[in-house]
Structure 1
Amino acid sequence: MFPRHLLSTLHRLSGCFPVVVITGPRQSGKTTLARVAFGDRPYVSLEDPIERAFAIEDPRGFLARFPDGAVFDEAQRWPELFSHLQGVVDRSRRPGMFVLTGSQQFGLLAGITQSLAGRAGLTHLLPLSLAEIPSAKEAVTSLDALLVRGGYPALHAYTIDPADWFASYVATYVERDVRQVLNVQDLSTFQRFLRLCAGRTGQLLNLSALAGEAGISQTTARAWLSVLESSYLVFLLPPYHRNFGKRLVKTPKLYFTDVGLAAWLLGIRSADVLALHPSRGALFETLVVGEFLKARFNAGLPADLYFWRDNNGLEADLVFEQGQRLQTIEIKSGQTATTDYIRAGQRSAHFAGDAAAPPWLVYGGDQAYVRSGLRVMGWRELTNDVDLLST
Structure 2
Amino acid sequence: MIDRADLQNRLHQLLKSFRAVELVGPRQVGKTTLARDFVSTESPNYFDLENAASRRRLAEPMAALADLDGLVVIDEVQHMPELCEVLRVLIDRPSHIHRKGQYLLLGSASPSVMHKTESLLGRAVTLEVTGFNLNEVGADSDAANRLWLRGGFPDAFLEASDSVSATWRDAAMQRFLYSDLPQLGMNVPAPQMLRFWQMLAHTHGQIWNSAPLARSLGISETTVRRYLDHLTQTFMVRQLAPWYEDLGKRQVKAPKLYLRDSGLLHALMGVHSLPQLLAHPVCGASWEGFALEQVLRIARPDSAWYWATHAGARLDLLMLKGAQRIGVEFQRADAPKVTQSMRIAQRDLKLDALYVVYPGQHRYRMADGVEAVPLWAVLPGPAA
- Decide: shared fold, TM above 0.5: yes
Question: Which amino acid letter does the alignment assign opposite residue 100 of structure 1?
Answer: L
SS in 2 for 1:122: strand
Distance 1:87 1:35, change over 3 A: same
In the aligned structure 2, how far is the partner of 1:93 from the partner of 1:249? 53
In the aligned structure 1, how far is the partner of 2:286 from the partner of 2:318? 18
Question: Which amino acid letter does the alignment assign opposite residue 140 of structure 1?
Answer: D
Question: Which amino acid letter does the alignment assign opposite residue 110 of structure 2?
Answer: Q
In the aligned structure 2, how far is the partner of 1:32 from the partner of 1:337? 41
Any runs of at least 4 consecutive aligned residues in structure 1 with deviations exceeding 6 A, and if so which? none
Question: Share of identical aligned residues, percent?
Answer: 31
Q: Which one is further off, 5-14 or 161-170? A: 5-14
In the aligned structure 1, how far is the partner of 2:214 from the partner of 2:111? 23
Q: Which one is further off, 200-209 or 149-158? A: 149-158
**Which position in structure 1 is the counterpart of 2:28?**
27
Superposed CA deviations along residues 194-240 of structure 1, whole A, max 9, x for unmatched, are 11111111110101112222332212211111110110000100111
SS in 1 for 2:325: strand
**Which position in structure 1 is the counterpart of 2:143?**
141
Q: Are 1:225 and 2:228 counterparts?
A: yes
**Which position in structure 1 is the counterpart of 2:127?**
123
Which of 341, 347, 356 does residue 351 from structure 2 map onto? Answer: 356
In the aligned structure 2, how far is the partner of 1:78 from the partner of 1:207? 33
Superposed CA deviations along residues 32-59 of structure 1, whole A, max 9, x for unmatched, are 1111145596322111123213323x22
Which of 370, 376, 383 does residue 380 from structure 1 map onto? Answer: 376
**Which position in structure 2 is the counterpart of 1:200?**
203
Which of 277, 282, 291 does residue 279 from structure 1 map onto? Answer: 282
**Which position in structure 2 is the counterpart of 1:100?**
105
**Which position in structure 2 is the counterpart of 1:247?**
250
In the aligned structure 1, how far is the partner of 2:144 from the partner of 2:8? 28
Question: Which amino acid letter does the alignment assign opposite residue 359 of structure 1?
Answer: L
> How far did 1:282 drift?
0.8
In the aligned structure 2, how far is the partner of 1:282 from the partner of 1:20? 35
- CA RMSD for the aligned pairs? 2.5
Q: Are 1:190 and 2:193 counterparts?
A: yes
Superposed CA deviations along residues 331-372 of structure 1, whole A, max 9, x for unmatched, are 1112x114xx2336842633426x222311011222211122
Question: Which amino acid letter does the alignment assign opposite residue 7 of structure 1?
Answer: Q
Distance 1:101 1:296, change over 3 A: farther
SS in 1 for 2:17: coil
Superposed CA deviations along residues 261-299 of structure 1, whole A, max 9, x for unmatched, are 1111111111111111111111111112112332355xx
Q: Are 1:211 and 2:210 counterparts?
A: no
> How far did 1:251 drift?
0.9
Question: Which amino acid letter does the alignment assign opposite residue 106 of structure 2?
Answer: T
Q: Are 1:267 and 2:270 counterparts?
A: yes
In the aligned structure 1, how far is the partner of 2:341 from the partner of 2:250? 21
Distance 1:31 1:226, change over 3 A: same
Q: Which one is further off, 322-331 or 188-197? A: 322-331
Which of 359, 365, 378 does residue 370 from structure 1 map onto? Answer: 365
Name the count of aligned residue pairs.
Answer: 373
**Which position in structure 2 is the counterpart of 1:14?**
15
Question: Which amino acid letter does the alignment assign opposite residue 46 of structure 1?
Answer: L
Distance 1:383 1:149, change over 3 A: farther
In the aligned structure 1, how far is the partner of 2:309 from the partner of 2:64? 56
In the aligned structure 1, how far is the partner of 2:114 from the partner of 2:348? 35
Which of 70, 73, 86 does residue 72 from structure 2 map onto? Answer: 70
Q: Which one is further off, 1-10 or 219-228? A: 1-10
Distance 1:115 1:350, change over 3 A: closer
> How far did 1:140 drift?
3.3
Q: Which has the higher contact order (CA 8 A, sep 6+)?
A: 1
Q: Are 1:315 and 2:314 counterparts?
A: yes
SS in 1 for 2:229: helix
> How far did 1:157 drift?
3.4
Distance 1:93 1:240, change over 3 A: farther
Gaps of 5+ in 2: none
**Which position in structure 2 is the counterpart of 1:337?**
335
In the aligned structure 2, how far is the partner of 1:214 from the partner of 1:18? 45
**Which position in structure 1 is the counterpart of 2:304?**
305
TM-score, with structure 1 as normaliser: 0.87
In the aligned structure 1, how far is the partner of 2:54 from the partner of 2:351? 54
**Which position in structure 2 is the counterpart of 1:90?**
92
SS in 1 for 2:142: coil
